[in-house]
Amino acid sequence: MKPIRLPFAALSTAAALLLAGCASTGTPEPGPLSPLSPLTLNIAHINDHHSQLEPQAHAELTLDGQPTRVSLGGFARISSVFKQLEASTPNLLKLHAGDAITGTLYYTFFRGAADARMMNTVCFDAFALGNHEFDDGDAVLRGFLDELGQGDCRTPVLAANVQPAAGSPLAASGGRSPIQPYTIKTVGGARVGIVGIAIADKTVNSSRPLASTQFLDEVTSAQRAIDELKRQGVHHIVLLTHQGYARDQAMARRLSGVDVVIGGDSHSLLGDFSAVGLKSAGAYPTVTQNRDGETVCIGQAWEYAKAIGLMNVRFDDRGRVQACGGQASLVIGDSFARKDAEGKWVPLGATEQAALQQSLQKQPAVRVTAEDPRASQVLAGYSSRVNEQKTRQIGQATEALCLVRVPGEGTNRSASVAGCERANTLAQGSDAAQAVAEGFLAASKRASIALQNSGGVRIPIPSGTISMNTAISMLPFTNVLVEMDLSGAELLATLEDAVSNHLDQKSSDGSHPYAAGLRWNLDMSRPKGQRFSSLQVRDRASGQYRPLEPAARYIVVTNDFIASGKDGYTTLGKVFQEGRYVNTYLLYTQSFADYLTSRQQVKRPARSDYSHQQVITASGQTLP
């Protein structure tokens, strides 16, 4: 047989393999026929920082077997770690898996500008849209994305399944949408495709995108983008998703061609953190297989700029994952405190501190690092303005909103406020807690009822001007709002739990419940299970009250503290553990402030709208 001769310029890869005697007469092996160079890809990533730009000053971890207070996270510290990795780690991608905004006063006052500036101190290679990016609509999101596009970074914003309508803020007429389905980065000589996926149902149901903005099926959109990248000769595929750890695993198994999933939304801490006293949701990285039976590596890095993930992925010469490893690590400062013999937290001495730092160098679950000076300087410009903004007027109280924990309680917590002299003797109880519950209900798109524990409301509101600082002092914690799916029977059991916590368990009376959209009669002289009666739910559309139905389902918005079962709310805790809730990540202080701002004037509700309609005290006294 004469040898086959082709012009060199026309020689295809398949012909070259044939001439080399490497062709197979069977079905071709899947994957690219031309060999690629092996690649080790390193991916540093965060997710769900939710405008938490400052560190958690008094976080408690177990270090060297002892409870220890540390300064945990903070975006300036995260920025420092990214810069260290850039200097020491080859073939590095820097990714953010969404929910950058909503959750602190930095978002309340600056609507994403502070977050964008801090993110640009890292200069991410890609950012995926999260559901909370849409909390204040497409126009506010566009403002945040425009800020993110300032300067030299121009971070690609990714969401293959989000399609804004032409002429809308995210696709202005004659302009280019800032949202792309994917981006391609050249890393170590290889082209790496990064595809963004946003969670569809949760964004539409719990945030505020325009009705004209389409959210398409996540799996279909991801596969379409992967196939398009493959046609362009891109054989290393990373999905940058915001849909949750469980969905990431399920999606990976349904897709062809995916290699890596870097995710967010579920705030999952992955890896072994038992040495520092924390539980994790799974392995880091979590390894599964795609539809082709090939390895897929999945990672996520907790929440609130407290941790950073670093994944190492080895690809073979056909672009398939050979192995993956890595570590998610908590990012902490270099000052520590422990309890003394009297139980007070005191800073460690120099010798103890040096020994602990040396020990932590061998602990992969934590990274001790200083804050990046440039990022700290950027943040300082905003933090000073946050302090100024606290004096901003957000509303007017036409009458005092008195503070009471339990109706008929002996202590009048509002005695010094004009108009509240008899507040503790009246059946309605706390005007302040009632107003907070109404604010929470207004913040939720889905809920028909809002629930608030009395102890979470810290001060009354005197009549007159309400400043932002008043709202902060009233709701000073970092709680967020969650929407829970409860039956009427579970809701009744929750109320009974809350009252039993202080009457029977002799625990804090701060558990006493207040609600918006729900009213009741309460007899505290009766035993648990018989105290609440005549429960009625207010229809949001008509304002009419109807009896609570034990078998009916209700969406209840409340703060994440009691939602997780704290303060005696054991029934809510079980629902929380079952996953029957949606975390809105709306800062409860911000939600109440927005409520006051929208109304401009606030006063006590109509008597018929108070949660407590009739009250009999534990001693049998009927309150007026």
Q: What is the pLDDT of residues 272-288, one digit of tens each?
A: 999 999 989 999 999 99
User: Looking at residues 446-473, what average pLDDT do you find?
Assistant: 91
Tell the residue number behind the tokens 């690590």, with chain if given: 329
Distance (Å) of CA 153 to CA 94, 106, 117, 194, 515: 12, 21, 10, 17, 47
What is the C-alpha to C-alpha distance for residues 127 and 198, in angstroms, rounded to an integer? 11
**Extended strands (E) in 77-173:** 92-96, 126-128, 157-158, 162-163
Instruction: Please tell me the least confidently modeled range out of 10-19, 93-102, 240-249.
Output: 10-19
Calpha distance 119→112 (Å, rounded): 10
Question: pLDDT category, 477, cuts 50, 70, 90?
Answer: confident
Task: Give 34's pLDDT tier (boundaries 50, 70, 90).
Answer: low
pLDDT interval class at 473 (50, 70, 90): confident
Which range is least confidently modeled, 182-191, 411-420, 441-450? 411-420
Would you say residue 500 has pLDDT above 70? yes
What is the spatial distance between Cα 240 and Cα 125, in angstroms, rounded to a whole number? 11
Neighbouring C-alpha atoms within 13 Å toward the C-beta of 241: 29
Residue 32's pLDDT band (cuts 50, 70, 90): very low
In order, the DSSP letters of 462-481 are -SEEEEHHHHHHHS-S--EE
Q: Which of 119-123, 259-263, 489-493, 537-541 has the lowest mean pLDDT?
A: 537-541
- Tens digit of pLDDT for each residue in 292-318? 999 999 999 999 999 999 999 999 999
Q: What is the mean pLDDT of residues 148-173?
A: 92
pLDDT at 225 over 80: yes
What pLDDT is attached to residue 172?
A: 78
Average pLDDT of the segment spanning 484-508: 94
Look at the block and give the residue holding tokens 């519950």. 437
pLDDT band at 44 (very low <50, low <70, confident <90, very high): very high
Spatial CB neighbours of 157, under 8 Å, sequence gap ≥ 6: 126, 127, 128, 129, 145, 148, 178, 179, 180, 196
Span 39-387 CATH architecture: 4-Layer Sandwich (3.60)
Q: Is 478's pLDDT higher than 90?
A: no
The owner of tokens 């999933």 is 261
Q: What is the pLDDT of residue 306?
A: 95
How far is 273 from 319, CA to CA, in rounded Å? 32
Residue 359 has pLDDT above 50, yes or no: yes
pLDDT value, residue 538: 96
* pLDDT higher than threshold 50 for residue 571: yes
Supply the pLDDT for residue 351.
93
Rounded average pLDDT over 95-115: 91
Rounded CA gap, 17 and 22, in Å?
Answer: 5
pLDDT(49) > 70:
yes
Report the alpha-carbon distance of residue 210 to residue 115 in Å, rounded: 23
Query: Regarding predicted confidence, which is higher, 61 or 28?
Result: 61
As a whole number, the mean pLDDT across the chain is: 90
The residue behind tokens 């983008």 is: 225
Average pLDDT over residues 438-461: 93
Q: How confident is the model at residue 490 (pLDDT cuts 50, 70, 90)?
A: very high
Task: State mean pLDDT over 590-611.
Answer: 92
Residue 15, pLDDT > 60, answer no
Mean pLDDT, rounded, for 472-478: 81
Q: Which of 16-30, 354-368, 481-495 shows the lowest mean pLDDT across its residues?
A: 16-30
- Mean of the pLDDT values across residues 519-527? 97
* pLDDT computed for residue 5 by the predictor: 32
Is 390-616 assigned to CATH 3.40.50.1820? no
Rounded Cα–Cα distance for residues 565 and 406 (Å): 20
Domain ranges of the chain: 39-387, 390-616
| DSSP-derived 3-state class of residue 93 | strand
Nearest to 112 by CA among 91, 95, 127: 127
| Rounded Cα–Cα distance for residues 265 and 358 (Å) | 34
* Enclosing H/E stretch for 206: helix 200-206
Query: Cβ(390)–Cβ(469) under 8 Å?
Result: yes
How many angstroms separate the CA atoms of 114 and 12, rounded?
52
As a whole number of angstroms, the distance between CA 180 and CA 306 comes to 28
> What pLDDT, on the 0 to 100 scale, is given for residue 173?
64
Look at residue 493 and tell me whether its pLDDT is greater than 70: yes
Among residues of the chain, what percentage have pLDDT more than 70? Answer: 94
Residue 266 binned pLDDT confidence (cut-offs 50, 70, 90): confident
The more confident residue out of 571 and 25 is 571
pTM of structure = 0.74
Does residue 510 contact residue 521 with C-beta atoms inside 8 Å?
no
What percent of the chain has a predicted confidence (pLDDT) above 90? 77
